[in-house]
Amino acid sequence: MQVLEGAAARAALTRSFDEIPVPDAVLARIEATFGEALSPEQVVERILADVRARGDDALRDWTEKLDGTRPEVLAVSGAEIAAAQVDEELHAAIRLAVARVRAFYEQQPAHGFLNHTPEGALGQLVRPLSRVGVYVPGGLAPLISTLIHTAVPAQVAGVQDIVVTTPPARDGTVHPAILVAARELGITQIYRAGGAQAIAALAYGTASIAAVDKIAGPGNLFVVIAKRLVYGQTGIESLPGPTETLVVADDSADPRHVAADLLAQAEHNGAEPVLVSTSRALLVAVQAELSGQLEALPEPNRSWARDSVLSRMKVVLAADLNEALALANLYAPEHLCLLTRDPWSLLGQVTRAGGVFLGEYSMEALGDYVAGPSHVMPTGGTARFMSPVNVRDFQNIISVVGLNASAVQHIGPAGAVLARAEGLEAHARAIESRL
Amino acid sequence: MQVLEGAAARAALTRSFDEIPVPDAVLARIEATFGEALSPEQVVERILADVRARGDDALRDWTEKLDGTRPEVLAVSGAEIAAAQVDEELHAAIRLAVARVRAFYEQQPAHGFLNHTPEGALGQLVRPLSRVGVYVPGGLAPLISTLIHTAVPAQVAGVQDIVVTTPPARDGTVHPAILVAARELGITQIYRAGGAQAIAALAYGTASIAAVDKIAGPGNLFVVIAKRLVYGQTGIESLPGPTETLVVADDSADPRHVAADLLAQAEHNGAEPVLVSTSRALLVAVQAELSGQLEALPEPNRSWARDSVLSRMKVVLAADLNEALALANLYAPEHLCLLTRDPWSLLGQVTRAGGVFLGEYSMEALGDYVAGPSHVMPTGGTARFMSPVNVRDFQNIISVVGLNASAVQHIGPAGAVLARAEGLEAHARAIESRL
């Protein structure tokens, strides 16, 4: 375990969104699939253009090519949704997660204002978006929680028309747990489509899937690139990609918990956990814990976690908690876990993170499911300027100007002066026509 | 004047952001500048890559090539800012605009929350971004108001570090009115750079200009493309491009005001004003007014306005105000002007617009300067999912999870069930290690 300090730590935690390396395995898969060495951007551009041109047929073709199943019927039927079942324990957990996330977002202030004065009224309307697409990634297991953590803030925002896309399994089905969660959410529009092809369908529309106003939800490299490329044509909430966690721990932290939290990150294939500690003794103890807990994990999680820990984990020794927090802000992690003696005293220093998890009972794994805030948070350093999925992502502000003659008498002449200074004579005259 | 109705009107007001046509004059200028027929995207990609690679030198080269002046010193000095002067009438108008916009945004709710329960605390921190770039377009006159209408919401949000870029005049100076406005705002970082090269500098940083966390402000086609391409590397607030206005007028509207408001839109070179009316008589009266008011405009505004009116203005006859509002929502205009008998009764039907201007004394031209709300509003149909520049654009939400042992006892088991359903064993164990 290489321990970084000072300038080396700062360099290791400085990152550029555009320079996130593409894993060799991804490039190899592209070459195997396309018969030539394309960049991920080129792949996505091809898929977007094809779905835009050919609609559902292209969507089926790409799903067959990339997901290994051809969804002749893209929409999941009401009967399929109604018939989906999971065991009662999981069903109850889904209900709890929906309730917790909903209760959290119902607290978010998201109202407009309208202020009347003798000169009229000025304000902001806050309106829900008309139609939103929720992207739920596939992978080896159903990401039930991602559906809940993306759709609920949209529902709280007041969006009436929510459509879900998620890659089908090889047998063409969508996992019953996803369908049960959709049923609990009252969502009826679910389509068998994943990857860039799903983003294309949501952005441009097809015969089966009407275009949406905004696409939300996390995804892999191809989904992130696709969202970036369709932005403008449609809205996107942010660019959440592979998950990431930075743990700040002092000498009071329990090495078992630190190791457990790092492994909960490391078990994501390709993850890059970061540990910043003020205690060299803790770093040593965590290393011993990591080895033991790693061995106890089942496959394939063990292999992925081991690879993350051995190949990509970053371990930093900070001079003090101030430096630790400065490094965390520099990295701008999706998840910032504060396993320190007095985590609340550090909160004011946190300027860049998707979420802050304070103390040993606020483990990030709990936040992924049932704590309340959405687990869809900014990654790749975008927490410098982006927020976790939240109610605002699904609402527009519309400015309201309702002034009267006395306002125009008061401020109109200054407006005309500014208009003429900008060379806009007809603007000045439009104002003066009311004076 | 061709009057559109029904399906033809709907077709004419349906638009796709990706399919906004590039004017021939722009393509001709690209070919003249680059010696080959490049798309605007290709031009912007070249400029971004060059500024990223060569920094200030590239910024100077592109400014020389595209703006006709070589800014050896990119930063405007404190002495230049201090020395700038405008006449007292304009200075007072600048002060009024700053005060009005500030007073408006100080009313915007933009706070977080933190809710303590027996199981701990959950909430959202709302933090200002660290460093923001404000892009102020150039053109034939100083866009004083754009600086004010973009920077003030950032200041109200609490952003400490605001940097302005604006293309220099051919003599290398920045217009004194811009500098006076910056002085009134307390902004000291101003750089002589415009176009895609300025966006590149703000996104990637150069020796002179440190990279920012977010870039805000409107621009021409190249600026919009550049913002779209750097998004992710840096934040952007939205994609505001050429300004646009849709006027809804019934038989109560004064044709003089309707014509004046349309001309205030039409005098922007290349503008595409839209008039939707329920009254054929009004349409006829407005046409007569347009001719007269057009002739009275000075050049070059008259030529531009005439070209906009004759070549691109869309005129729609709606069956009733419900259809008129539905067409407005379909178009999703930057500015929606309601010149009707009872405009407030229509406000609830407005779902997609940057700003709504109600009645004859709320002319959009006033909103451009001194009404209060920012004039930087979504264009190109992006009002379907974007908002005017506002305080939220300059703040991040950080989710806060601070639970205690009793919360983990209560919700931890459900979290572990969900984690295992998603195949994330180490997540489940991280939760259970605290049970």
Reduced 3-state DSSP string for B8-37: HHHHHHCCCHHHCCCCHHHHHHHHHHHCCC
The pLDDT of residue B138 is 85
- The answer on pLDDT for B110 being more than 90 is no
Min Cα separation A324/chain B (Å): 18
How many percent of chain B have pLDDT more than 90?
A: 94
Q: Is A427 annotated as a binding residue?
A: yes
Q: What is the pLDDT of residue B332?
A: 98
Distance of CA B241 to the CA centre of its chain: 7
Range(s) of chain B covered by CATH 3.40.50.1980:
3-16+242-384, 78-111+128-238
Closest-CA distance of chain A to residue B214, Å: 6
Which pLDDT value is given to residue A138?
85
**Helices (runs of H) and strands (runs of E) counted in chain A:** 17, 14
Per-residue pLDDT reduced to its tens digit, B183-200 = 999 999 999 999 999 999
B392: nearest Cα among B137, B133, B193, B126: B126
Are A136 and B413 contacting, i.e. CB atoms less than 8 angstroms apart?
Answer: no
Q: Is the peptide bond before A176 cis (omega within 30 degrees of 0)?
A: no
Average pLDDT of chain A to the nearest whole number: 96
Question: Are the beta carbons of B233 and A177 separated by less than 8 Å?
Answer: no
Residue B365 near residue A415, CB atoms below 8 Å = yes
Q: Are B146 and B226 in contact (CB under 8 A)?
A: no
A327: pLDDT strictly greater than 80:
yes
List CB contacts (< 8 A) between A152 and chain B. Answer: none
Q: Do A401 and B109 touch (CB under 8 A)?
A: no
pLDDT digit string, tens, across residues B204-235: 999 999 999 999 999 999 999 999 999 999 99
Question: Which candidate, A135, A151, A304, places its Cα nearest to that of A203?
Answer: A135
* Number of C-beta neighbours around residue A256 at 10 A: 17
Q: Which two tokens stand for residue B270?
A: 């290349």
The chain A residue lying nearest B379, using CA atoms, is A232
Known binding residue A87? Answer is no
* Sheet with A235-236, edge to edge strand ranges: A189-192, A161-166, A131-135, A214-216, A235-236
Instruction: Tell me which chain A residue has its CA closest to the CA of residue B419.
Output: A369
What is the phi/psi pair of residue A16, to 5°?
-125, 125
Average pLDDT estimate for B58-63 = 98
Is the Cβ pair A365, B396 closer than 8 Å?
Answer: no
Token pair of A185, please?
A: 């959410």
Which residues are A165's β-sheet partners?
A: A135, A191
- A3-16+242-384 to CATH, choices 3.20.20.70, 3.40.50.1980, 3.30.420.40, 3.60.15.10: 3.40.50.1980
The answer to whether B334 is a known catalytic residue is yes
A382 and A354 Cβ atoms separated by less than 8 Å: no
Query: CA A288 to CA A293: how far, in whole Å?
Result: 9
Share the mean pLDDT of chain B: 96
What is the per-residue pLDDT across B70-81, written as a single tens digit (0 to 9) for each?
A: 999 999 999 999
Q: Which residues have C-beta within 8 Å of that of residue A294, sequence separation ≥ 6? A: A263, A302, A305, A306, A309
B295-317: pLDDT as tens digits = 999 999 999 999 999 999 999 99
Total beta-carbon pairs less than 8 A apart between chain A and chain B: 413
pLDDT score of B1 more than 80: no
> Would you say residue B410 has pLDDT above 80?
yes
Q: Distance from A287 to chain B by nearest Cα, in Å?
A: 16
Q: Please state, in angstroms and rounded to a whole number, the distance separating the CA atoms of residues A69 and A8.
A: 47
Res. B415 pLDDT band, cuts 50 70 90: very high
* pLDDT confidence bin for A23, thresholds 50/70/90: confident
The stretch B169-193 carries a mean pLDDT of 97
pLDDT number for residue B23: 86
Q: Express each pLDDT in B2-55 by its tens digit.
A: 999 999 999 999 999 888 788 888 999 999 999 999 999 999 999 999 999 999
Placement of tokens 């609830």 in the chain: B348
Per CB-CB distance under 8 Å, the chain B contacts of A415 are 93, 365-366, 368-371
Question: In angstroms, how far apart are the furthest CA atoms of chain A?
Answer: 80
The confidence score (pLDDT) of residue A294 equals 96
Residues of A in contact with B293 (CB under 8 A): 426, 429
Which residues, 6 or more positions from A353, have their beta carbon under 8 angstroms from its beta carbon? A328, A329, A332, A333, A334, A335, A336, A383, B398
Pair type for strands B120-128 and B355-358: unpaired
Q: Which residues of B touch A85 (CB under 8 A)?
A: none
Residue A255 Cα, gap to closest chain B Cα (Å): 11
β-pairing, B113-117 with B120-128?
A: antiparallel
ipTM of the shown complex = 0.96
The predicted structure's pLDDT at residue A65 = 95
Q: Indicate yes or no: CB of B266 within 8 angstroms of CB of A351.
A: no
| Residue that the structure tokens 């990279």 belong to | B211
DSSP 8-state code for residue B310: I
The answer to whether residues A211 and A129 touch, using CB atoms and an 8 Å cutoff, is no
Q: Residues of CATH 3.40.50.1980 domain(s) within chain A?
A: 3-16+242-384, 78-238+391-395
Q: At what angle do helices A144-157 and A176-185 cross, to 10 degrees?
A: 20
A388-417 average pLDDT score: 98
Kindly name the residue from A175, A257, A335, A375 that is annotated as catalytic.
A335
At B300 the pLDDT is 95
Task: Pick from A291, A400, A404 the residue to mutate for testing the B interface (most B CBs within 10 Å).
Answer: A400
Contacts of B366 in chain A (CB under 8 A): 401, 403, 408, 411-412, 415, 431
- pLDDT value, residue A18: 85
A334 is catalytic: yes
For an interface test with A, the pick among B362, B364, B435 (most A C-beta atoms closer than 10 Å) comes out as B362
Average pLDDT on A212-236 reads 96
Average pLDDT over residues B425-435: 96
Rounded mean pLDDT of A241-269?
96
Q: Where are the alpha helices (DSSP H) in A14-77?
A: 24-34, 40-54, 56-67
A175 is in an annotated binding site: no
Which residues from chain A sit within 8 angstroms of residue B401, using beta carbons? 355-358, 362, 366-367, 371-373
Q: Which residue of B has its CA nearest to A400?
A: B356
Q: What is the pLDDT of residue A361?
A: 97
The pLDDT assigned to B94 comes to: 98
Q: From the CB of residue A74, how many other CB atoms can be counted at a distance below 10 Å? A: 21
- For the residues B368-384, what does the mean pLDDT come to? 97
Cα–Cα distances (Å) from B319 to A317, B9, B22, B245, B250, in that order, read 71, 11, 33, 21, 11
Considering only the beta carbons, identify the residue of B94, B263, B431 that sits closest to A365. Answer: B431
- Subunit contact B355:A214, Cβ cutoff 8 A: no
A335 is in an annotated binding site: yes
Residue type (1 letter), B397: I
- Hey, which CATH number is domain B78-111+128-238, 3.40.1000.10, 3.40.366.10, 3.30.70.2740, 3.40.50.1980? 3.40.50.1980
Radius of gyration, CA atoms only, chain B: 25
Contact B120, A435 (CB under 8 A): no
Straight-line distance from the first to the last Cα atom of chain B, in angstroms, rounded to the nearest whole number: 75
- Percentage of chain A surpassing pLDDT 90? 94
Q: Residue A368, annotated ligand binder? A: yes
- Across the interface, do A228 and B231 touch by the CB < 8 Å criterion? yes
Per-residue pLDDT tens digits for B125-162: 999 999 999 999 987 789 999 999 999 999 999 999 99
Per CATH, is A78-238+391-395 categorized as 3.40.50.1980? yes
The verdict on whether residue A91 carries a ligand-binding annotation is no
| Residue B186 CB-density burial (10 A; 0-12 exposed, 13-18 middle, 19+ buried) | exposed
Residue A211: what pLDDT?
97
